[in-house]
């Protein structure tokens, strides 16, 4: 007899949904800073316009704001 619970699939679904949310968030937070570092070092391997555009002030500000929101949500969750 198996010891599976009727909602065992929920853990896998939660993991998939978290990946759908957090991978783009990490991209938005980290990619502008990585591009800024590449542009400052003069190493734009391909699509040079893309790296300069991602290193623009607007993306860096958006990255900082998204990072602050994620930090706020994480800290608020830990404090509760």
Question: What residue ranges do the domains of the chain occupy?
Answer: 26-79
Q: Residue 70 contacts by C-beta under 8 Å, 6 or more apart in sequence?
A: 25, 29
pLDDT value at position 15? 81
Confidence of residue 40 (pLDDT cuts 50, 70, 90): confident
Q: From the centroid of its chain, how far is CA 21?
A: 8
Per-residue model confidence as pLDDT tens digits over 45-57? 777 788 888 888 9
Confidence of residue 65 (pLDDT cuts 50, 70, 90): very high
pTM of the model as a whole: 0.67
- 14: its two tokens: 């939660």
CB of 70 within 8 A of CB of 28? no
Cα separation, 19 vs 74, in Å, equals 16
Q: Helix (H) and strand (E) counts for the chain?
A: 3, 0
């Amino acid at each position: 007899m198996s010891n599976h619970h009727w909602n065992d699939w929920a853990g896998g679904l939660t993991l998939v949904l978290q990946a759908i949310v957090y991978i783009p968030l990490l991209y938005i937070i980290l990619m502008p800073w990585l591009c800024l570092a590449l542009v400052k070092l003069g190493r734009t391997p391909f699509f040079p316009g893309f790296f300069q555009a991602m290193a623009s002030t607007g993306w860096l500000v958006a990255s900082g704001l998204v990072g602050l929101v994620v930090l706020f949500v994480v800290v608020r969750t830990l404090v509760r």
